[in-house]
Amino acid sequence: MSDEALSNLLREDRLFPPPPEFAARANAKGSMYDEASADRLGFWAEQAHHLHWDAPFTEVLDWSNAPFAKWFVGGKLNVAYNCVDRHVESGHGSQVALRFEGEPGDRRDVTYNELMNDVCKAANALIELGVKGGDRVAIYMPMIPEAIVAMLACARIGAPHSVVFAGFSAEALRSRIEDAQATLVITADGQNRRGSVMPLKPAVDEAVDASPSVQRVLVVRRTGNEVPWHDRDVWWHDIVDRQSSSHTPEAFDSEHPLFILYTSGTTGKPKGILHTSGGYLTQASFTHRSVFDLKPDSDIYWCTADIGWVTGHSYIVYGPLANRVTQVVYEGTPDTPAKDRFWDIIERHRVTIFYTAPTAIRTFMKWGDELPGKHDLTSLRLLGSVGEPINPEAWIWYRDTIGGGHCPIVDTWWQTETGAIMISPLPGVTACKPGSAMRPLPGIGAAVVNDAGTPLGNGNGGYLVLTEPWPSMLRGIWGDDQRYIDTYWSRWPQYYFAGDGAKLDEDGAIWVLGRVDDVMNVSGHRISTTEVESALVSHPKVAEAAVVGASDEMTGQGIVAFVILRGGVDDGEGLAKEFRAHVAKEIGPIAKPRQILIVQELPKTRSGKIMRRLLRDVAENRNLGDVTTLADPTVMNLIAGGMSTAQPED
């Protein structure tokens, strides 16, 4: 973040207290902070008791093998039972769980009764396909009810799922299947994107052809397009529909693996973040109840994330369903058929709680106030933001134009690794500052520390760390315990290092400033610089590549690549386009560089390390910082001179 942006933030002194009517009815009261600090583990035990346990836990936290935590030791539960069956058993079977809306406009309501039947049938189908407890299942699906059913069916039989965002490439899917040694892939024929059908099956076929661990591929018919077919493939409607709708859920240990979700780290190889059952569900449901203030009998909730990201796991599937939500699930993009699709959905479904990302909010701002202005958004009572720092301008626009000036905004800071929200206002308690995630939730310990790991006082900036284990914390990196320790617990062994920089203001409010490592945040998606560099150098015309995240008004950060060509390759037209397409093929379209600059040299220190700081200066059109440590200081003049010819994305 630039110094100017930082000082803007620090001048922000507007304060928005919760409306008194909201505060009076809020699920979470201010006393929670005191209760949790008086007895942190007791507080979490109380939250865990909102779930149904088949066997009670005997110990809240076992941290004796730190940093490998065990929460709710000895307890047994079934996550899918907690998200579905118990609501039917308590008499809410006819409540709508999912209000699905497809991009072409098709709609389908799924009640808790129907969801239970669907999950049981899918669980029985997985068993018939040979999936056993502990087996990994890869899910590569559009945002349709079957995706949620598939996740819950896996949870029900104790088979950890690995959801791979359907925008990732065949190669990205293959490497994730291989790392987890998945035996089954669940997918669909295609998905509806921007008014056309985007096939999914060919990418799955390509990935599975190179994945010996996979035995079967289960395919939902969504778009009806022709799909290539193999012996290993089976249609969802052929096998799921004929199953019995009764299935007895098995009680699993609180620490039974629930899912693996891959995310970018600072190396090229994505990390399989492992989450388990009891602690994860406790914190996902607690935060959903207290931060989103869910009232299951009256709210219509909508989180616009995709199930391919952690937000979809924790705040579409597990947290909300455990709390008996009624929620909107939307398949498509915000601009189809027109740029007011989201506001149209909110108006028609009378959405009360809306959770989205700053990059989307900034895009809506750009599209203009007339679009939300055409719709009745008065049903909204609470707004949420996640994925990246929200700038005060976007916060205020969100509050005034979408929230009618009266909805509290919860700016929620968390990560794939944390599993659930960690730092956020409580909407009925906290007086919010636009752009600040404010303070850790009750039961959560966070600090801002300096290089030496010393906690800083108010008014200082440093590194964001978590000071206490929390129930939904990752339990490790799949198959790589050492990488888990090295990545998160080695810089300061007593703290979890989140990888973010943060500032404490004069009142102790936390302002998250973004990543301090080589991880970029593009439209709220995490992409590592090394991952994109590896993709670029795998192109036969590329000798070397350096990638940086440059600040971008719309997407938070944009990917800028500096590429050295192999000898004999001409710097001809169309090269940048070719490289961008190559990155899309290797990783997925979200990782396509915004700009590609062909250079002769890269700025390196005498020991050969690329100085990204200087490349960021160039990419952000800043005056160059100190170049004296460069082996060849003249290199930068050449690079900076070429910036104007960098190819912007077409």
Interface size with ligand PRX, residues (CB under 6 A):
22
- Minimum CB distance to ligand PRX smaller for 277 or for 412: 412
Q: Residue 522: which residues within 8 A CB-CB, separation 6 or more?
A: 549, 552, 555, 556, 557, 558, 559, 590, 591
Nearest approach, Cβ of residue 519 and ligand PRX (Å)? 8
552 lies in the site for ligand PRX, by CB under 6 A: no
505 lies in the site for ligand PRX, by CB under 6 A: no
Stretch that binds ligand PRX, among 144-152, 230-238, 285-293, 511-519 (CB under 6 A): 511-519
Q: What are phi and psi of 468, to 5 degrees?
A: -135, 145
Query: Is the four-CA dihedral 425, 430, 434, 440 of positive or negative sign?
Result: negative
Query: Which residue sits closest to ligand PRX, CB atoms considered?
Result: 416
- Minimum CB distance to ligand PRX smaller for 120 or for 512: 512
Q: How many residues does the chain have?
A: 650
CA distance 282 to 375: 37
* Region 348-367 residues binding ligand PRX, contact defined as CB under 6 A: none
387 lies in the site for ligand PRX, by CB under 6 A: yes
CA distance 123 to 244: 10
Single-letter code of the amino acid located at 551: S
Q: Residue 146: which residues within 8 A CB-CB, separation 6 or more?
A: 118, 122, 188, 220, 222, 236
- Minimum CB distance to ligand PRX smaller for 158 or for 389: 389
187 lies in the site for ligand PRX, by CB under 6 A: no
521 lies in the site for ligand PRX, by CB under 6 A: yes
Nearest approach, Cβ of residue 343 and ligand PRX (Å)? 23
DSSP per-residue codes, 248-273: PPPPEETTSEEEEEEE--SSSSPEEE
Nearest approach, Cβ of residue 78 and ligand PRX (Å)? 26
Stretch that binds ligand PRX, among 66-74, 116-124, 328-336, 385-393 (CB under 6 A): 385-393
332 lies in the site for ligand PRX, by CB under 6 A: no
Note whether 395 and 409 are within 8 A (CB).
yes
Note whether 242 and 42 are within 8 A (CB).
no
Nearest approach, Cβ of residue 498 and ligand PRX (Å)? 6
Note whether 114 and 92 are within 8 A (CB).
no
310 lies in the site for ligand PRX, by CB under 6 A: yes
Is the omega angle on the peptide bond into residue 408 within 30 degrees of 0, that is, cis? no
168 lies in the site for ligand PRX, by CB under 6 A: no
- Minimum CB distance to ligand PRX smaller for 311 or for 327: 311
List 515, 580, 594, 612, residue binding ligand PRX (CB under 6 A): 515
Nearest approach, Cβ of residue 443 and ligand PRX (Å)? 18
List 100, 292, 301, 413, residue binding ligand PRX (CB under 6 A): 413
Nearest approach, Cβ of residue 521 and ligand PRX (Å)? 5
The secondary structure of 65-100, three-state, reads CCCCCEEEECCEECHHHHHHHHHHHHHHCCCEEEEE
597 lies in the site for ligand PRX, by CB under 6 A: no
Stretch that binds ligand PRX, among 38-46, 381-389, 541-549, 617-625 (CB under 6 A): 381-389
500 lies in the site for ligand PRX, by CB under 6 A: yes
Contact pattern from residue 251 through residue 290 relative to ligand PRX, giving x for each residue in contact according to CB under 6 A and a dash for the rest: ------------x---------------------------
Note whether 617 and 624 are within 8 A (CB).
yes
CA distance 579 to 586: 10
List 512, 546, 547, 561, residue binding ligand PRX (CB under 6 A): 512
414 lies in the site for ligand PRX, by CB under 6 A: yes
- CA 1 from chain centre, in angstroms, equals 21
Nearest approach, Cβ of residue 464 and ligand PRX (Å)? 8
562 lies in the site for ligand PRX, by CB under 6 A: no
416 lies in the site for ligand PRX, by CB under 6 A: yes
Eight-class DSSP state of 307 = T
303 lies in the site for ligand PRX, by CB under 6 A: no
List 311, 326, 487, 529, residue binding ligand PRX (CB under 6 A): 311
* Token representation of residue 271: 């990390």
List 332, 389, 462, 588, residue binding ligand PRX (CB under 6 A): 389
412 lies in the site for ligand PRX, by CB under 6 A: yes
101 lies in the site for ligand PRX, by CB under 6 A: no
Provide the H-helix boundaries in 70-227.
Answer: 79-80, 86-87, 112-128, 145-157, 170-180, 201-209
**Cα dihedral value 144, 147, 149, 152, nearest 10:** -140
- Minimum CB distance to ligand PRX smaller for 354 or for 579: 354
CA distance 215 to 206: 14
Q: Give how far Cα 54 sits from Cα of 78, 249, 567, 650, Å.
A: 8, 10, 66, 56
Nearest approach, Cβ of residue 176 and ligand PRX (Å)? 15
CA distance 528 to 521: 9
CA distance 629 to 199: 50
H or E stretch including 330?
strand 327-330
Stretch that binds ligand PRX, among 86-94, 190-198, 514-522, 602-610 (CB under 6 A): 514-522
Note whether 320 and 294 are within 8 A (CB).
yes
Nearest approach, Cβ of residue 630 and ligand PRX (Å)? 29
For residue 51, give the nearest of 25, 92, 84, 97 by alpha carbon: 84
DSSP per-residue codes, 520-569: EEETTEEEEHHHHHHHHHTSTTEEEEEEEEEEETTTEEEEEEEEEEPTT-
- Minimum CB distance to ligand PRX smaller for 175 or for 412: 412
Radius of gyration of the chain (CA): 24
Single-letter code of the amino acid located at 422: M
List 499, 549, 558, 593, residue binding ligand PRX (CB under 6 A): 499
292 lies in the site for ligand PRX, by CB under 6 A: no
518 lies in the site for ligand PRX, by CB under 6 A: no
444 lies in the site for ligand PRX, by CB under 6 A: no
- Minimum CB distance to ligand PRX smaller for 516 or for 569: 516
Nearest approach, Cβ of residue 129 and ligand PRX (Å)? 31
Nearest approach, Cβ of residue 467 and ligand PRX (Å)? 16
Q: Which positions touch ligand PRX (CB under 6 A)?
A: 263, 310-311, 386-389, 411-416, 437, 498-500, 512, 514-515, 521, 526
